[in-house]
Amino acid sequence: MADRFAPAPVPRRRPGPAALARALAVVALPWTWFALRDLLGIVGDVLAIALPVLVGLVAAVVLVVGRRRGVLPAVSALVAGAVAVIAPWTPADVGAVAAGSGVSVVSANVTGMASTVPALLAASPDVLVVVENNGYLDEDLAAGYPHHEFTWGSATVGVYSRHPLRLLDEPGRDLPGMRVAVDAPTPFVLYALHVPRPWWTGRGAYQATLGEHHRLVAALAARVAAEPGPVVVAGDLNSTDRGRGYRLLVDGTGLTDAMRDAWAAPTSVTTWRPLLLRIDHLLVGPGWCGDTAHRLPLPGSDHDAIAATVGPCAAPPPSG
């Protein structure tokens, strides 16, 4: 008898076109990052640095506030964030280095730690770029190489080589590092760099405002693009590979990221590890390729070193 007086079930209302459009817009919103990131300028630079943590926080807030309705937007944000972070790590091999013309290069930010020297000497590359160097480390590293250049100053960088070197330019206002001619089997110009880290102020440690950092990278990109011959850019650029500065160097100058011969990965490995920052780079100019890309742990440093063999690309096989 009780069933006769039970209230009739209320039919569930289907969402109308406007509600569906709003839901789709919310789900699609995280993907607008790829269209807007460079247009956002300095704001985009900050968001790019903090992206992994920021995406996780946004997804968590959306789930708490929206509950079941927040599941799709949260998943969309996480997937878009993962694509933005991981896409610049994926292999993008442009070809093999021509036989007999390769030069092995290691770039390392050693944080001034003597504990890194044995690992670097054991790697024994043809050309070694050392950032956050000092006079004591320079003596130890120079003992293992017949040719070397070292510069004091805010950008304390050393270059050690089995091939003859010639210093072309010392650090200056628009050059946070050295420009060096390397007399390898195929001679090239090497930019050995340590760009100041972007920060809210230019005072204090080795850092620059976000605007000044971008100006430096833009000046470097223009300078590298004007090189008439083969060029290699190596060092700690303090530019995340998902940021505007990295795209300016790679897309704007035609440089190839030699580390993407294989899967790349973050190189900032201590304090800033949660941000998944790949800020140490090895880039080569048009017509050059990279092989055997890999990272090297540096005991005591807050960076991993990066290594690859670079040189003129092998000629593609004839068609047919």
Q: Which helix (H) or strand (E) holds 150?
A: strand 147-151
Neighbours of 36 (CB within 10 A): 11
How do 280-284 and 256-257 pair as beta strands?
antiparallel
Q: Are 178 and 152 in contact (CB under 8 A)?
A: no
Residue 2 has pLDDT above 50, yes or no: yes
How confident is the model over 114-131, as pLDDT tens digits? 999 999 999 999 999 999
* CB burial readout 252-266, b (16+ within 10 A) else e: ebebbbbbbbbebeb
Of 11-25, 167-181, 209-223, 226-240, the range with the lowest mean pLDDT is: 11-25
Q: What is the spatial distance between Cα 264 and Cα 304, in angstroms, rounded to a whole number? A: 12
Q: Say whether 178 sits in a helix, a strand or coil.
A: strand
Position with higher pLDDT, 173 vs 89? 89
Q: What is the chain's mean pLDDT, rounded?
A: 93
Report residue 8's pLDDT band, with 50, 70 and 90 as the boundaries: low
Residue 228 has pLDDT above 90, yes or no: yes
Neighbours of 45 (CB within 10 A): 21
Q: Are 209 and 291 in contact (CB under 8 A)?
A: no
How confident is the model over 280-319, as pLDDT tens digits? 999 999 999 999 999 999 999 999 999 999 999 998 756 5
Question: What pLDDT is attached to residue 54?
Answer: 96
Question: What pLDDT is attached to residue 216?
Answer: 96
Q: What is the spatial distance between Cα 78 and Cα 59, in angstroms, rounded to a whole number? A: 7
How do 177-182 and 165-169 pair as beta strands?
antiparallel
CB pairs under 8 A, 24+ apart, for 166-173? none
* Of 131, 165, 174, residue with least CA distance to 145: 165
Question: What pLDDT is attached to residue 218?
Answer: 96
Q: What is the spatial distance between Cα 125 and Cα 276, in angstroms, rounded to a whole number? A: 26
Question: What pLDDT is attached to residue 320?
Answer: 47
Q: Supply φ then ψ for residue 277, to 5 degrees.
A: -90, 125
Amino acid at 108: A
Q: What are the helix and strand counts (H, E) for the chain? A: 8, 14
- Residues 226-248 have a mean pLDDT of 97
Cα 225–Cα 45–Cα 279 angle in degrees, nearest 5:
65
Residues above pLDDT 70, as percent of the chain: 93
Residue 277 has pLDDT above 50, yes or no: yes
Structure-derived torsion over alpha carbons of residues 283, 289, 293, 299, reported in degrees to the nearest 10: -40
Neighbours of 29 (CB within 10 A): 14
- Residues 61-82 have a mean pLDDT of 92
How confident is the model over 21-61, as pLDDT tens digits? 777 888 899 999 999 999 999 999 999 999 999 999 999 99
- Residues 196-207 have a mean pLDDT of 89
Tell me, yes or no, if the pTM score tops 0.75: yes
Q: Say whether 57 sits in a helix, a strand or coil.
A: helix
Q: Say whether 25 sits in a helix, a strand or coil.
A: helix
Q: Supply φ then ψ for residue 35, to 5 degrees.
A: -85, -30
